[in-house]
Structure 1
Amino acid sequence: MKKRREFETEAVRTQLGRSQYLEHSSPMYLTSSFVFEDAEDMRASFAEEKDRNIYSRYSNPNSSEFIDKVCKMEGAEDGFAFASGMAAVFSTFAALLEHGDHILSARSIFGSTHTLFTQFFPKWNIGTSYFKLDELDEIENLITPNTKLIYAESPTNPGVDILDLEALGAIAKKHNLIFIIDNCFASPYLQQPIAFGADLVIHSGTKLMDGQGRVLAGITVGNGELIDKIYRFSRITGPSLSPFNAWVLSKSLETLGVRVDRHCENALKVAEFLEQHPRIDWVKYPFLPSHPQYELAKKQMKAGGCVVAFEVKGGLGAGQRFFDSVKMMSLSANLGDSRSIVTHPASTTHSKLSSEERALVGISDGMIRVSVGLEHVNDIIADIAQALE
């Protein structure tokens, strides 16, 4: 039996077969379409009697390499790559859901996903019920005959709470539901939800996968039969990832492990600093012992990730003064970048939610989310310290 290679080795060594030019690094295939040898070759290709590239909206060598890498990282059977994380979210649901179906979702999810569930899916008579992080025992009471799937993020955005993936997986299996996890806060390096029972795993490749704020991307990987449905929906509707962005991401994945190691090392030190600071009401980071789900985080994750959430004493006004006082860190809505980023969720990523909806998922007006980057941790802490003062 062939020994499975380690994560970092697969990230570096999974690549396309070399062409006649014997290139060491995979080339870019910036082509919209592919040619055929003759009429029979073209007929057989469109009839899917041959596994080959036809049109880059369907597949492209660069996209295939990127998908192959992520599948190996996540332990997935197959996948499809998208133009953005939200394209992955929408297309995955749209491919699997039918008129009248019901979604069971964790309440703490990305603001755009919540808007999708509450403003767009109801047009097609697709309903959503939410469960709280601390109410997993109540999930089964929310399941209806029309419930099709369970969806969650872990760690959550932006409060970095941790959900029990194994418990959710067991519930989904018991009731024959599809279990989908958004894993972009952890990346496949820190967490593989399929090992805990997930059927599908979604990533915004824009975040840690790229890691340098260059390209938009999304990907869904998992069960082969479900991915086939997503693929057939997506080749018609056209949300596929561009070959150039796929090439960039495949290169980025080669350094995912070393980058995320440094992100996590820096983030833990930042969280420890904030926890001792007199001007901070509270701080949350999965691998901080004071985190409510610390033991669960250690069970599911290799390390705590790059995101730290905290509240400055003094509420919204104090939070705004903190933002205006930051000198080095970037004010942006992205995360997982090599540069440290500060975000105010209530006025940015989750601004479309009402104050009541934000309160239900633990987003206070003064909450600050820091995506801790790859700068020297002393400089990151110094910038936070001077802004707090």
Structure 2
Amino acid sequence: MKQTGFTTTQVHADRKCNSPQDGAVHTASTNSVLFEYKDAQSIVDVFQGKKAGHVYSRSSSGAVTALANQVNLLEKGVGAVCFATGMGALSSTFFSLFKSGDHLIVSQYLFGNTRSLMNTLADMGIQISFVDVTALQSIKEAYQPNTRAVFTETVANPVTQVADIQAIGRYCKERQILLLVDNTMTPPPVFNAQKAGASLIICSLTKYVGGHGNALGGAVIDTGQFDWRQFDNIKPAYQVDDVSQWGLTQIKKKGLRDMGATLAPEAAHKLAVGMETMGLRIPRSCENAKHLATFLDNHPKVDRVYYPGLADHPQHFIAREQMESGYGAILSVDLVNKIDPIAFLNQLELVICATHLGDNRTLALPVASTIFHESGEQERQKMGISDTMIRISVGIEDIDDIIADFAQALDAF
């Protein structure tokens, strides 16, 4: 019997992909830093990539490799590497693949931490062009002979601009350049980044994959869509027999061995267990978000709601074409001018004021004064972030309770 259902696949992924010992359904979380080899030639062969194995847990361990196999299955890739955090995955990828003199076309709507990373790359001689990724023409106009890649998030955080990834993917294939997609906000089953043409998928496992706010992690997945022989930055030492693994091999060697962005086995175990319920958690959060966005959109004390599932969202039709299951579970709102966002958040009773997203619990925070404070007012205006904006990550609670909490908070003003 072939098992094809999303949740069925995720629930059984660990035991099917990794064959845990002693009949366990989860791979053991082994905490050893070092690994013994009875035959010295074996450790030589592993070091030289002639055979699979673990030599030092900074580079690999059983639990982390098992998680990578599951993440790869989730995104239908040809391989994956896991890291300590989502930012670890991002920085390892960019520092491993690009060098001074390269040019990157990047979304102008990037999340604050990621935008800061782009500025760091610029300081090191990598040229960065920030563009409107909702319009393919802006990417075409930014293209240069030294352009190596386009990088975007699927849905921007927090204003929810939706990148036209299918069009961007076709263009990148035509130009033979990489398309790097941060799929954190819309992981499967919401969005299929491989189908849309992404070369590499980068994500924070901390968010929707883990789902429980109890472990940090990140991952890079190669979709198999890009021919690495077209990419001059792969060093000869990492041009292994399987061309599809060239990029991941260099990212793994640089990001884990050299930079040490290593995921701990205990965190890998928690994230792997969290993955099992993605097919239940994410659709529930997306449906809740749709109902909450509709309620807030019709409330007189809310000036504007930013959510791709609303018909008046600027990229609603792009989202409707690209998303396979819902529109994500992140939305942002601008309150009417007389309502102070801090006072409003203090009025909420069920919703938690916290900087996180993709959790089982509904979370909210004031955007301009927290996660985008360092960006400055001018940059925030370019990104569409108002001083009163509140970002909401919708959880899996009963929707009537979520709406009731927002209703009572709004009624207080």
Question: Hey, what does 1:307 align to over in structure 2?
Answer: 330
Contact 2:72 2:78 in 1 (8 A): yes
The separation in 2 between residues aligned to 1:366 and 1:8, in whole angstroms, is 39
Which moves more between the two structures, 365-374 or 4-13? Answer: 4-13
Question: Hey, what does 1:70 align to over in structure 2?
Answer: 71
The separation in 1 between residues aligned to 2:3 and 2:129, in whole angstroms, is 40
Q: Which of the residues 297, 300, 304 maps onto 2:319?
A: 297
1:4 CA drift (Å): 6.9
1:114 equivalent to 2:115? Answer yes
Cα deviation code 1:240-274 (max 9, x no counterpart): 21111111111100001100111011111111110
Question: Hey, what does 2:230 align to over in structure 1?
Answer: none
The share of aligned pairs that are identical, in percent, is 32
1:122 CA drift (Å): 2.5
Cα deviation code 1:93-143 (max 9, x no counterpart): 00110111111001011101111112x213321121011144421211211
Q: Which of the residues 293, 296, 305 maps onto 1:271?
A: 293
The separation in 1 between residues aligned to 2:134 and 2:249, in whole angstroms, is 34
The separation in 2 between residues aligned to 1:87 and 1:67, in whole angstroms, is 15
Cα deviation code 1:122-175 (max 9, x no counterpart): 332112101114442121121112211100011111111211111111121122
The separation in 1 between residues aligned to 2:25 and 2:271, in whole angstroms, is 17
Contact 1:183 1:193 in 2 (8 A): yes
Question: Hey, what does 1:232 align to over in structure 2?
Answer: 253
Question: Hey, what does 1:210 align to over in structure 2?
Answer: 210
The separation in 2 between residues aligned to 1:163 and 1:267, in whole angstroms, is 20
1:363 equivalent to 2:394? Answer no
Contact 1:117 1:127 in 2 (8 A): no
- Structure 1: gaps spanning 5 or more residues: none
Contact 1:104 1:128 in 2 (8 A): yes
Matches within 5 A, 1:88-103: 88-103=89-104
Q: Which runs of 4+ in 1 moved over 4 A?
A: none
Matches within 5 A, 1:149-188: 149-188=149-188
3-state SS of paired residue (1:64): helix
- Structure 2: gaps spanning 5 or more residues: 225-244
Cα deviation code 1:69-106 (max 9, x no counterpart): 11111111111111111111111100110111111001
Q: Which of the residues 278, 285, 308 maps onto 1:256?
A: 278
The separation in 2 between residues aligned to 1:111 and 1:364, in whole angstroms, is 15
Question: Hey, what does 2:19 align to over in structure 1?
Answer: 17
**Structure 2 length normalisation: TM-score?**
0.90
The separation in 1 between residues aligned to 2:97 and 2:133, in whole angstroms, is 25
The separation in 2 between residues aligned to 1:83 and 1:25, in whole angstroms, is 20
Contact 1:100 1:124 in 2 (8 A): no
**RMSD of aligned residue pairs (Cα, Å):** 1.5
The separation in 2 between residues aligned to 1:312 and 1:59, in whole angstroms, is 47
3-state SS of paired residue (1:221): strand
Contact 2:27 2:62 in 1 (8 A): no
1:196 equivalent to 2:183? Answer no
**Structure 1 length normalisation: TM-score?**
0.95
AA paired with 2:80?
G
Contact 2:83 2:261 in 1 (8 A): yes
Which moves more between the two structures, 4-13 or 87-96? Answer: 4-13
- Number of aligned positions between the proteins: 385
1:208 CA drift (Å): 0.8
- The alpha-carbon distance between structure 1 residues 297 and 220, as it changes in their structure 2 partners (threshold 3 A), is same
Contact 2:134 2:315 in 1 (8 A): no
The separation in 1 between residues aligned to 2:2 and 2:108, in whole angstroms, is 41
Contact 2:20 2:28 in 1 (8 A): no
The separation in 2 between residues aligned to 1:185 and 1:134, in whole angstroms, is 16
